[in-house]
Amino acid sequence: MAKVLVVTSGKGGVGKTTSTAALGAALAQRGEKVVVVDFDVGLRNLDLILGAERRVVFDLINVVQGVAKLSQALIRDKRLENLWLLPASQTRDKDALTDEGVRSIIADLRTKFDWILCDSPAGIERGATLAMRYADEAVIVTNPEVSSVRDSDRIIGMLDSKTVKAESGERVEKHVLITRYDSGRAARGEMLSIEDILEILATPLLGIIPESQDVLRASNVGSPVTLNNAASAPARAYIDAARRLMGETVEMMVPTERKGLMDRLLGRRAA
């Protein structure tokens, strides 16, 4: 049965789009049929991260307004035949999204895909609430710092009250994904520890993605990090998280960079 999963955070810049692309690619690599939907109308990014920006013809708003058919707007990934993108419109804003339009698109996508990953915009306004509206599951992307954690807490409260599932008395299954984690800085007390974050959010952990240059490198070449360098520490962490989403039990660990000798000597750290 198709699962609608929203990737959300409240706060901007924590890695929602990166995580959507990486998880989507990781799920597709494991044979699942996946569509990633960009809900960030007006500030679309997911097409860039997936390297599909030059193939966008129609977008989510066109489909909502009936200008284009869903099949016309869906873009198939060139590397993974199981991965599709439904891009957002860059020329419109979030007001162009309607509850009814989103409902019908999600219902349509449910019949075609195993996973529907909704990349939520930052904030708690229309775009974010509509991205989570029809979700069955949610990945809350959180950075190990207080403002991100508090915003995530707020988003979890909204997932428990503003979604269709919550309104019908069910629960949206929630997972916390900690990104940009630096174990060295956490050990020195410069970052919130995993325990602190989980204690505050009282929500199960999906994975810990280490801070890494590989993430930036991958997005610069328009490739999900799980595709670009599957052996890198963040890619392994995302792949583990995707396996957990599929119901597998995978031991929780913080993958570390395999530092070269030069890196060690120069004390180079991912910034």
Partner 1 sequence: MNAIAQPTRQLVRMRGRSYVAFVFAPVVPIVGWLEEIDATLARSPGFFAGKPVVLDLSEAAIMHLVASLEQRNVRVLGIEGVDPVRLTASMPPLLTGGRSCVLMQNELKKPETKPKPTSLLLENPVRSGQSIVFTEGDVTVLGSVGSGAEIVAGGSIHIYGTLRGRAMAGVNGNSAARIYCQKIEAELLAIDGYYQTAEEIDVALRNRPAQAWLEGDVMRIAPLS
Name which of 151 and 240 has its Cβ closer to partner 1. Answer: 151
- What angle (nearest 5°) sits at the alpha carbon of residue 269, between those of residues 265 and 271? 155
Work out the burial of residue 133: count CB atoms within 10 Å of its CB; fewer than 13 is exposed, 13-18 middle, 19 or more buried.
Answer: buried
Considering beta carbons, is residue 200 or 252 the nearer one to partner 1?
200
Residues 155-174, mask of contacts with partner 1 (x by CB under 8 A): -xxx-x--------------
125 binds partner 1 (CB under 8 A): no
* 216: contact with partner 1 by CB under 8 A: no
Q: How far is the CB of 150 from partner 1 (least distance, A)?
A: 5
Name the strand (E) or helix (H) holding 58.
none
Among left, alpha and beta (phi > 0; psi -120 to 50; other), residue 180 is left
| Residue number, 147 or 220, with CB nearest to partner 1 | 147
Radius of gyration of the CA atoms of the chain, in A: 18
81 contacts partner 1 (rule: CB under 8 A): no
Q: How far is the CB of 52 from partner 1 (least distance, A)?
A: 35
Size of the site for partner 1 (CB under 8 A): 13
Residue 72 Cβ vs partner 1, minimum distance, rounded to whole Å: 39
Q: Which of 57, 107, 146, 253 binds partner 1 (CB under 8 A)?
A: 146
Closest CA to 206 of 233, 181, 182, 238: 238
User: Do the Cβ atoms of 175 and 139 come closer than 8 Å?
Assistant: yes
Kindly list the distances between the CA atom of residue 21 and the CA atoms of 103, 151, 157, in Å, as whole numbers in the listed order: 22, 22, 25
CB of 39 to partner 1, least distance (A): 20
Residue type, 207: G
| Near partner 1 by CB under 8 A: residue from 153, 193, 229, 252 | 153
Does the protein bind partner 1 through residue 204 (CB under 8 A)? no
Smallest distance from partner 1 to CB 99, Å: 21
Q: 């924590």: which residue's tokens? A: 14
Q: H or E stretch including 92?
A: none
Binding residues (CB under 8 A) for partner 1: these are 124, 146, 150-151, 153-154, 156-158, 160, 199-200, 202
